Amino acid sequence: MTQEKGHRSAPFAAALLAPVSILYLVFLIVPIGYFLAVSFLKYSPERLYLPELTTDNYRRLLSDGYYRQIIYDTFRISAIVTLFSLIFGYTLAYFLSRMKSAWRGILMFLIIAPLMTGVIVRTYGWIVLLGSDGLVNRLLIGLGLVSSPIGLLNTEPTVIVALVHIMLPYMVFPIFSSLVSQDPHLVPAASTLGARPLRTFFEVTLPLSRSGIVMGSALVFTLTAGSIVTPELLGGRNVTMLGQTIYQLILSTFNWPLGAAVAAILVVCQFSVISLYFRKMRRAY
């Protein structure tokens, strides 16, 4: 009887998984497989690429100091953005999870609100604030701290600050979910056993929120590593990341094989981070 139910449920389960499988196949596996294949082809200025297998694209990326520096800068900036997003995001998520008033809903909406506008709009908002005639320079001149506008744009710190602002909601919500799902009696129980608030946080609250920390960090790191608009508009020629490099190689120089190789390196690194996340989750549970 059990075997008959299993045989009957198998087609039903396959039918339920079919739409999702088709979406993954069409919009994920096929595009990734296509640019992975292109990354092993030879570049041709006339035909974009030739059907000749080669590893020159990857060899160029790994041997050319220019591209190695871009790869290093991308993951360094992504790590810095992830670290600051974690510090500010955890603080904000912890504060929101402990709120009991109606203000929590309002504050949650304020965190979501920036996601309702495009990345370009938010990036131009930073240009308005930090430009030579922007609010920050006017305030500094008005306070007498500087005599002339200072160059805040086209710098790496500005790119990092803007990326932290853009990525912060992706860090807050996973951590907030892990905090509100904790048993509210754990903290009072720890205090009755003599644990002070700081020890309770580091030995009870923080370990139980590990899933949200890992999930938020994986999201922020992967999204930052592939960002294009913010580094391009706020960093200019002084900040170059892999996303910008892919855009320039594909649409400006039309070197599709090299651009596909850069994209392959980026995707492999992003999948590695996500795989690390799932491994951490399996160990945690």
pLDDT for position 158 = 93
Angle between helices 156-180 and 119-130 (to 10 degrees): 130
Domain ranges in the chain? Answer: 68-284
- Write the DSSP symbol of residue 237: G
pLDDT for position 230 = 92
- Fold classification of 68-284 is MetI-like fold (1.10.3720)
Q: Which of 3, 144, 175, 171 is nearest to 78 (CA)?
A: 171
Burial 81-92 (b: 16+ CB within 10 A, else e): bbebbbeebbeb
pLDDT for position 1 = 45
Length of the chain: 285
> Cβ neighbours of residue 210 under 8 Å, at least 6 residues apart?
178, 280, 284
Q: pTM for this one? A: 0.85
pLDDT tens for the 285 residues of the chain, in order: 445 555 556 677 777 778 888 888 888 888 888 888 999 999 888 888 888 888 999 999 888 899 999 999 999 999 999 999 999 999 999 999 888 777 888 888 888 888 888 888 888 889 888 888 888 888 888 888 888 888 888 899 999 999 999 999 999 999 999 998 888 888 888 888 777 888 888 888 888 888 899 889 989 998 999 898 899 999 888 889 998 999 888 888 889 999 999 999 888 888 887 787 777 666 655
pLDDT for position 79 = 92
3-state helix, strand, coil in the chain (%, to 5): 80, 5, 20
CA 23, 25, 29, 31: dihedral to nearest 10 degrees? -70
Distance CA 131, CA 154 (A): 10
Q: Name the pairing type of β-strands 48-53 and 41-44.
A: antiparallel
Element (H, E) at 180: helix 156-180
CA-to-CA dists, residue 201 to 192, 215, 275, angstroms = 14, 20, 28
**Residue 18 exposed, middle or buried by CB count within 10 Å (0-12, 13-18, 19+):** exposed
> Cβ neighbours of residue 53 under 8 Å, at least 6 residues apart?
40, 41, 42
Residue for token pair 């002084």: 238
What pairs with residue 43 in β-bridges?
49
Distance CA 60, CA 55 (A): 9
